């Protein structure tokens, strides 16, 4: 059985075991599409909300500014144009918040712990492009963690990165990402009509196939990301635990690296109210994208990762 068929069969078994009825699947081998599968009411070619997989689109768009010398990984919030601070104040601690760097936002080590998107599930937040500023202000009014620096996953890190893109380019976030992150990699996507408040951290809609085409960039052989981007991904990678990098999590392996990210959301404030996604790129050249229309448990998401990885290596 071909690898794409093994992976699709594994997905079907997982769906049956976890009460998931609708899903789309794209399978890549050495950055070539080898399989696209639809289950019930979803297909691999139909745009679907990708939840937190949106963060990689933000990260790749931001990387274009670093490659062009308009930002550095070490750039700090106090060094941004004054309009950034004017839009996002008040800050609880201007000195500490001003010293947050681009790298810390990308790696979720900014010490920002309050996540209003998760706390309120966006209830009461307008479904609008300007809602990123509302969320950022809410988070930056809270005190930063005083604990030793460690990775604390927080949507607001990427909301800030999305707003930085707008601040530096003086362009709206969505068309800039379409032009600089998606189109050069042969992909199309948009911010969902009902998920605009989540834009930079969870609001994009792409088909599984389009996301797979975009995510080919994370394979160094494609040369669709700069050497500086791959160096950033590898710099903190270790074999013991996943590390946040460029909108993805990375694990170092004996023969390279594995990359992955889950997306999962449920809220009465968005349309649709729940959706999920999964991406993985393994060191054997196989990558997968799954979109599905329910939010599952953490245990189910771990099982999805494990079962598709086993099928990819069988």
- Quote the domain boundaries for residue 112: 3-313
Q: Mark the ranges of the chain whose per-residue pLDDT is less than 70.
A: none
Q: What confidence score (pLDDT) does residue 186 get?
A: 97
**Tokens standing for residue 265:** 């959301």
Q: What confidence score (pLDDT) does residue 217 get?
A: 98
Q: What confidence score (pLDDT) does residue 102 get?
A: 98
Assign residue 283 the CATH number of its domain: 3.40.710.10
Q: What confidence score (pLDDT) does residue 148 get?
A: 72
Quote the CA–CA distance of 177 and 60 in Å, as a whole number.
8
**Tokens standing for residue 71:** 């930002």
148 contacts 45 by C-beta, under 8 angstroms: no
* Residue-wise pLDDT tens digits, 51-110: 999 999 999 999 999 999 999 999 999 999 999 999 999 999 999 999 999 999 999 999
Q: What confidence score (pLDDT) does residue 220 get?
A: 96
Give the up-direction half-sphere exposure of residue 83: CA atoms within 13 A in the CB hemisphere: 8
pTM summary value: 0.97
Q: What confidence score (pLDDT) does residue 286 get?
A: 98
Q: What confidence score (pLDDT) does residue 151 get?
A: 85
Give the SS3 label for residue 17: helix
Distances (CA, A) of 214 to 28, 198, 287: 11, 20, 12
> How many domains does the chain fold into?
1
Q: What confidence score (pLDDT) does residue 1 get?
A: 87
Q: What confidence score (pLDDT) does residue 140 get?
A: 97
Q: What confidence score (pLDDT) does residue 147 get?
A: 75
Q: What confidence score (pLDDT) does residue 51 get?
A: 98
């Amino acid at each position: 059985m071909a690898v794409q068929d093994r992976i699709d069969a594994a997905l079907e078994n997982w769906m049956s075991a976890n009460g998931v009825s609708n899903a789309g699947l794209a399978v890549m081998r050495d950055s070539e599409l080898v399989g696209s599968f639809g289950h019930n009411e979803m297909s691999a070619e139909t745009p679907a909300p990708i939840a937190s997989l949106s963060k990689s689109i933000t990260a790749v768009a931001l990387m274009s500014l670093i490659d062009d010398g308009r930002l550095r990984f070490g750039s700090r919030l106090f060094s941004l144009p004054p309009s950034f601070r004017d839009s996002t104040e008040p800050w609880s601690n201007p000195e500490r918040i001003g010293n947050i760097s681009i790298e810390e936002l990308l790696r979720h080590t900014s010490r920002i712990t309050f996540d209003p998107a998760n706390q309120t599930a966006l209830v009461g937040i307008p479904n609008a492009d300007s809602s990123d500023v509302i969320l950022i202000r809410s988070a930056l009014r809270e005190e930063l963690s005083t604990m030793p620096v460690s990775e604390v996953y927080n949507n607001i890190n990427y909301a800030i990165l999305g707003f930085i893109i707008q601040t530096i380019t003086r362009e709206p976030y969505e068309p800039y990402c379409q032009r600089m992150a998606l189109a050069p990699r042969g992909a199309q996507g948009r911010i969902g009509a009902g998920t605009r408040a989540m834009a930079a951290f969870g609001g994009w809609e792409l088909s599984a196939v389009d996301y797979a085409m975009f995510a080919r960039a994370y394979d160094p052989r494609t040369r669709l990301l700069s050497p500086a981007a791959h160096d950033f991904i590898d710099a903190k990678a270790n074999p013991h635990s996943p590390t946040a990098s460029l909108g993805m999590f990375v694990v170092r392996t004996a023969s390279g690296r594995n990359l992955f990210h889950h997306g999962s959301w449920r809220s009465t404030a968005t349309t649709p109210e729940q959706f999920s996604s999964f991406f993985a790129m393994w060191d054997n050249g196989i990558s997968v994208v799954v979109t599905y229309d329910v939010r599952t448990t953490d245990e189910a998401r771990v099982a999805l990762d494990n079962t598709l990885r086993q099928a990819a290596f069988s």
